[in-house]
Structure 1
Amino acid sequence: MMIIRPVQQEDLAAISALAAKTGVGVTSLPSNDERLAARIERVLKTWRDEVTQAEQGYLFILEDTEQKKVVGISAIEVAVGRTEPWYNYRVGTLVHASKELNVYTQMPTLFLSNDHTGYSELCTLFLDPDYRHSKNGQLLSKARFLFMAAFQERFADKIIAEMRGFSDEAGRSPFWESLGRHFFSIDFSEADYLTGIGQKSFIAELMPKHPLYVDFLSPEARAAIGQVHPHTAPARAILESEGMKYEGYVDIFDAGPTLEAYVSDLRAVKQSRVWPVMIDDQAKPTNNTTYLLANDKFRDYRALLAQVAFTETAICLPGSVAAALGITEGDTIWAVTLFAEEKH
């Protein structure tokens, strides 16, 4: 069975193995055991209510319980930019006009921005390539939405997700080569790694503060603005299907798009419902719809996918599913259809 659960300290080695498979561009999952261990400790303190809101974050594990193997990871940061500046580019327009010369031009421009400071963030999504099937990616991504639905008071009103930007098979980012390299004189992979381990001060020290004209960039760099890495396209599609949108903000290194939405507007949050549980091993699924199910236990959160039966007042679960969720008859769980086109 595939199940989502909170991270544990003993997951460090497995997470480190996943980090080694990510490649360039996943800045929030660096291949650095010291940094990963510190993050695990920080999120465990979050679940114990031992850190301030500015430091809070949640890290979820996708586990193959039959193999007892960690195969995926996803996360939520509660309030970005509160402990260190949060940078991105806002894609905007500057107008140049002269009535006397009868000249009027609109120039696409990149403005350095901290506009998302204080927002919550979906991040650190990575699934082992061997498990990219059977809706595992959907479970890994969307389980966070039911967690936010159950505990909305712990998050900002708006949520963002920075998508990995376009780079080629060699890890070369055309946006970085056309822009960032001129100011940092280091390879994209090195800048990406430094950001991932928290050394972000160099951004403020070296990045130009004035607007940058997009037309000055190479054609390849211009084409990369707002585009995702091919491996990230499925993750973007999942988030967009839940109501997140690109609103013109991109990463300052690779120009990957930032998606955003109000938490209350997310499809899985709006359509999810709390159901009392009946345990019945004989109950047949009401239909062929796959449901995302989650308990409402903060420190012992669990989520999984299942086809289930409903009565007018309850959800009927097999004993194995109830046990995996850590619930008994009479408890309540959150349920929502996995896909937007399906409704119960």
Structure 2
Amino acid sequence: MSTDDDVTATQRSGTGSVARREGLGAEPTAEPTETVGFIGLGNMGGPMAARLVRAGYRVQGFDLAEPARQAFAGTGGTVAPELTGAVRGASVIVLMLPNSDIVEATVRDAGFAVEHGATVIDMSSSEPMRTRALAAELAQRGVTLVDAPVSGGVSRARTGELTVMTGGEPADLDRVAPILTQLGTATRVGAVGSGHAVKALNNLLSATHLLVTCEAILAGERFGLDPETMLSIFNGSSGRSGSTENKWPNFILPGTYDSGFGLRLMLKDVRIATALADQVGAPDPLGHATAELWARAAEALEATADHTEIVNWLRKDASR
């Protein structure tokens, strides 16, 4: 299942006012009075669903992968052997899936027989325009869709400290706020689809930051500069970013490349962001250049490569 990047910033609503932020990630306090269907129990979804179990929700979890289902069984949640069992009797259904194709296939599956009046929370990294279209489709079935993609990675999924970007009508977001409270800190950014939009744009920034940071440090190395010294200068200067403060010192310099966010997932989000810019007629020449370079790295590196491994592609193959 999809994971995500950990760079975030205060967002604003579509009206220009400061978006509403809800302090989340509290210790479990909920009474076990609501049934939640949770579809997608992978690297991110598994720990998120487990937090809802500990918070007292009756969670019915489903994933196509048997190891993911087995891991969830150890949390005390109910493992559904099929999609139907995950949504049966659930007033809220959480989707934590890789992309819009899989989200749409899931909600259109005959087994996705959700109750009239239920709310679906799409926490996947989906495409904003497709999210809006799907919300309209579900509304015809008497089902509400809100989007709430996350940032923060697996470690923050475990601790309930994710950044959650939500899109939807205020009343609908009020309805699911207690659930999101167990997962992190939510910012309301606008109408349905807005969460997916800002998530993709965030990762476009993150991908661009990392790419140019790698270029700068590799140039400095060839000149004879020490990477750690460069990072200390950048982090006290205007070149500071999540890449200089976190990715380089924690995953690239040690050579672990284990941030938990795949390179191809980053490329997917970058392409969502550039597609959105094209759809709304915004200028994005740098975004497209970023997407092209990340695509070249994805072709050259292993399918399972962490996104921080783009530095190895730059070292070996970027000039070919």
TM-score between both structures, scaled by the size of structure 1: 0.25
Asked which structure has the greater CA Rg, the reply is: 1
TM-score between both structures, scaled by the size of structure 2: 0.27
